[in-house]
Structure formats: structure tokens, C-alpha cells
Amino acid sequence: MDRKQLETIAGRLADNASPGSRYFLIGELGTGKSVFARAFLRRLGVKGAIPSPSFIVDARYDCSGHEVHHIDLYRLEGNSEELEFYGIDDILSSDAVVLVEWADRLNPEYLKGGVVVRLAYTDDPEQRRVEIVEEPLAGN
């Protein structure tokens, strides 16, 4: 799928976001995680620039009555000390809508109950393969 199709899918997922929703983006550098995240946030109503939170780790937005966190784990290993230091544990247990780039750095337990979006390169440099999986909570 091309960039426009990726943005369309991000918008559709954002349309279904509600308090407590989790979206976990996984893929190599350059596969479209940030493109997806920006389209998702725009659909929720974020105006102006949407910089990558890779240096600040967490960017918080207020969108249509939702608290939304855009987390980027690129510079982190995802260990429990880092997650506690940056407050990510608390964010992931909150009622906020949470979008996490580089979510493969989290313990897989965090992914349960969320939507996992896997992005990958294809032979065409303008296209990406996208797989969307809703991870069930334990016992579901």
C-alpha cells in the first residue's frame, strides 16, 4: 500500500479510538510508523506540527475530549526502569488513547488488548506491507 492508503487506514483506526484504546506500531526504520502516527493524530483533531517524540519519548495531546499520548520508544530499550522513569507504565494503564511507535521494544504483555500495526518494506520502494492485528486480552 502507498502513503495515501496508509494514511487512510490510520484515519479509520482513529475513528474507532475511545478512552483506553491502544495502538502499537512495529516496523523497521522508514516503513511508515511516523506517517501512520501523524495521520492518526490529525484525524483525532491535532492541529499544527506533529514532531516525532523520539527525543521527548511522550507527546500528549487533548483531542475532542480524549487525552492522547504519542510515544516513541526508538531511543529506549523498553526495560522496566525506562518505562517507569518516563511514566509509560502509568500511561499504558490509564484511560488515555495511546499510540506507540517501536512497540516491539515493549514486553509482549503490553500489546494485549491493543491493535498491533506491523509495517514492512516491499520490493517497490513506494509501497509498504501492512498487517493489523487486534491482540486479545488474556482469557479472551
Per-residue model confidence as pLDDT tens digits over 71-126: 999 999 988 899 999 999 999 999 999 999 999 999 999 999 899 999 999 999 88
Domain that holds residue 94: 3-118
Strand order from edge to edge, sheet including 22-27 = 58-63, 66-72, 97-101, 22-27, 115-121, 128-134
Q: If we measure between CA atoms, which residue out of 35, 46, 45 comes closest to residue 4?
A: 35
Residues 103-113, buried b or exposed e (16+ Cβ, 10 A)?
Answer: bbbbeeebbee
Q: Assess if residue 39 is contained within a domain.
A: yes
Domain membership flag for residue 28: yes
Q: Report CA-CA distances (Å) from 103 to 18, 36, 75, 116, 136.
A: 20, 14, 12, 9, 16
Domain CATH for 80: 3.40.50.300
Tens of pLDDT, residue by residue over 1-52, are: 899 999 999 999 999 999 999 999 999 999 999 999 999 999 999 998 898 8
| 125 in a structural domain | no
Are 88 and 58 in contact, with CB atoms under 8 Å apart? Answer: yes
Question: Residues with Cβ < 8 Å from 11, sequence gap 6 or more?
Answer: 39, 40, 42, 43
Q: Residue 138's pLDDT band (boundaries 50, 70, 90)?
A: low
Overall number of domains in the chain: 1
- Whole-prediction pTM value? 0.92
Nearest alpha carbon to residue 101 among 21, 26, 28: 26
Residue 74's pLDDT is 94
Please report whether residue 17 resides in a domain.
yes
Q: Is residue 123, in this structure, part of any structural domain at all?
A: no
Position 64 pLDDT exceeds 80: no
